[in-house]
Amino acid sequence: AQSVTQLGSHVSVSEGALVLLRCNYSSSVPPYLFWYVQYPNQGLQLLLKYTTGATLVKGINGFEAEFKKSETSFHLTKPSAHMSDAAEYFCAVSVWSSASKIIFGSGTRLSIRP
Amino acid sequence: DAGVTQSPTHLIKTRGQHVTLRCSPISGHKSVSWYQQVLGQGPQFIFQYYEKEERGRGNFPDRFSARQFPNYSSELNVNALLLGDSALYLCASSQPGLAGMNTGELFFGEGSRLTVL
């Protein structure tokens, strides 16, 4: 079975600082991995995804993530935080051969200090 | 182009009642998935429908049911509501790959927030 674990339910950084949100996955077959963002009172929006190929994936709003198979990780980073980045971030996994579902982590709330 | 639309946006029910939530996918998308998001948690998969057939089901009781119509819109029905059913119900549409399998890019609506008293 597939699963994702997000380390840290709440992360707070200063504006302009590095953002690092951690995600580890478990999958018996090569996974597809995703980061979604949810702003207050809104649905989820895809930030970036890894399917195959290049392990460093660039997404919207300056975010990127690196797939590390040896560490079963897919951490999300952004070099310089902006106030508008404050939101809930979800890591997710799906597997091509599984039932058609995508499994989400429990989320990390990102706060930005002025 | 319109995104995924859900209705109603908010509703309040009492225990034991029934609720129907509706979802219209993005034009051209043939797959609809339903998720339950309890406050402070990640979305939990309930159902996926593709071409009007159920393609996936999460670990939810039989009180939860869904269907997809010929125009690809969908309804989620919950019977005999419990307090624990209070949540944000999210609908997502996608254009799956082979055999209706989701490869992950879901487009979400803003959700229907259900409160059960």
Question: What integer pLDDT is reported at residue B45 of this predicted model?
Answer: 92
At A17, the amino acid letter reads A
Q: Over pLDDT 70: what percentage of chain A? A: 95
Task: Report the pLDDT value the prediction gives residue B65, as an integer from 0 to 100.
Answer: 97
DSSP track, A40-80: TTS-EEEEEEE-SS-SEEE-GGG-EEEEETTTTEEEEEESS
pLDDT of amino acid A52: 80
Residue of B nearest to A46 (CA): B105
Q: Which pLDDT score, from 0 to 100, does residue B10 have? A: 96
Mean pLDDT along residues A8-24? 97
What SS3 class is residue B82?
coil
> Cα separation of B103 and B95, whole Å?
9
Closest CA to A38 of A110, A114, A103: A110
pLDDT band at A65 (very low <50, low <70, confident <90, very high): very high
Does any CB of chain A come closer than 8 Å to the CB of residue B28? no
- Supply the pLDDT for residue B101: 58
Q: What is the pLDDT along chain B (117 residues), one digit of tens a residue?
A: 679 999 999 999 999 999 999 999 999 888 899 999 998 899 999 999 988 889 888 899 999 999 999 999 999 999 999 999 999 999 999 876 655 555 667 899 999 999 999
> Checking DSSP bridges between strand A56-58 and strand A44-50, what pairing results, if any?
unpaired
B43 and A CB contact within 8 Å = yes
Tell me which chain A residue has its CA closest to the CA of residue B54.
A100
The residue of A21, A35, A93, A100 whose CB has the most chain B CBs within 10 angstroms, and thus the best one to mutate to test that interface, is: A100
Take residue B30 and report the two structure tokens written for it.
């043939």
Chains A and B form CB pairs within 8 A to the count of 70
| Distance in angstroms (rounded) separating the CA atoms of residues A36 and A46 | 4
Decide if A44 and B106 are in contact by the 8 Å CB cutoff: yes
Chain A residue numbers touching B33 (CB-CB < 8 A): 100-102
Beta-carbon separation of A103 and B96 below 8 A: no
In whole numbers, what is the pLDDT of chain A averaged over residues? 90
Average pLDDT score over residue span A28-37: 87
Contact yes or no for A33/A93 (Cβ under 8 A)? yes
Residue A8 pLDDT exceeds 80:
yes
Q: Output the pLDDT for position A96.
A: 59
Put simply, whether B41 touches A (Cβ < 8 Å) is: yes
For A46, counting Cβ atoms within 10 Å of its Cβ (0-12 exposed, 13-18 middle, 19+ buried), the class is middle
Please report the pLDDT score of residue A15 as a whole number: 97
Residue predicted with more confidence, A54 or B38: B38
pLDDT at A94 over 70: yes
Q: What is the pLDDT of residue A102?
A: 85
Please check the confidence at residue A51 and state whether its pLDDT lies above 90: no
